[in-house]
Amino acid sequence: MARIKSTPRQIATPSAPTSATAVPYKPNTHFPENVITSSALLAFPIVTVILSSLLPSDPVKILGYSLPAVALIQAVNILFTNPAPEPVAKSSGNKKKKQAKNTMSTTILGLVLSMLLTPFIHLIYVLFGAPVTVSIPATFLLSAHTALLALFPILCTYPLDGVTWTNLVALKAPVTPAYTAALGTIAGAWLGAVPIPLDWDREWQIWPVTVVFGAYVGNALGRLVGAVLSGKEKML
């Protein structure tokens, strides 16, 4: 009986690419990857300097006059730094207009909700030691500024559902400049209250000058940290 010679089986191996080119990381020019595009990051340090120099003279007047400007800065920042819409065909050009309209509607809704939540923030300030029967207008305006700094961007960039907001409160939400700016605002306001009871007899120790200053500094630093951290996550 003739023996059949067996030949070794050829194992197919993937062919190596002829030329390997590294694809550079190209960050999106929209929120939250690019720090430069964040108008609030650039504007709020300037607002902080102006407020800190003018607030001791008349806190209620300065906080009231600056409130619309802060709302405008936040609204512009949200409108221009939200993710860009997907490219659409010419036949569906109305889709891009609809996306822009939805962004505008979300921004307006976030602003309205922020103002509606201002009394709740006022109550929190009182529970943490703010004057109860005196300086009520100053505390309320401080609460409105806090709502614009901390709540407004989050209301526009996170879904309005229980699970999302439970994660936000539990510090389990994804890192974004809006989220870290809110945390920075809260931490800065809390630290800003430390110099008020000290026996220094300085003009800037009146309520709520240092709290406003701390909130704005904390917001700017938190936004910067969030932009850097979220940018690193995109590169991994």
Neighbours of 140 (CB within 10 A): 18
Euclidean distance between CA atoms 149 and 138, whole angstroms? 16
Residue 60 in contact with residue 75, Cβ under 8 Å?
A: no
Decide which of 140 and 235 is more confident: 140
For 190, what's the count of Cα atoms within 13 Å in the CB-facing half-sphere?
9
Residues in Cβ contact with 158 at an 8 Å cutoff, skipping those fewer than 6 apart = 164, 165, 168, 173, 178, 179
Retrieve residue 206's tokens.
Answer: 């009146």
Task: Choose the weakest-confidence range: 37-46, 56-65, 144-153, 188-197.
Answer: 37-46
Euclidean distance between CA atoms 212 and 193, whole angstroms? 9
Tens digit of pLDDT for each residue in 18-73? 444 333 323 333 334 444 445 556 677 777 777 778 888 889 999 999 999 999 98
Tell me: pLDDT of 97 over 90: no
Mean pLDDT of 73-91: 64
Residue 83 in contact with residue 33, Cβ under 8 Å?
A: no
Q: What is the pLDDT of residue 99?
A: 66
Q: What is the pLDDT of residue 3?
A: 52
Residue 30 in contact with residue 176, Cβ under 8 Å?
A: no
In the chain, domain spans: 39-82+98-235
Mean pLDDT over each residue of the chain, to the nearest integer: 78
Continuous H helices in 117-151 = 118-127, 136-146
Confidence band of 143 (pLDDT split at 50, 70, 90):
very high
Q: What is the CA radius of gyration of the chain?
A: 26
Its pTM stands at 0.76
Confidence band of 117 (pLDDT split at 50, 70, 90):
very high
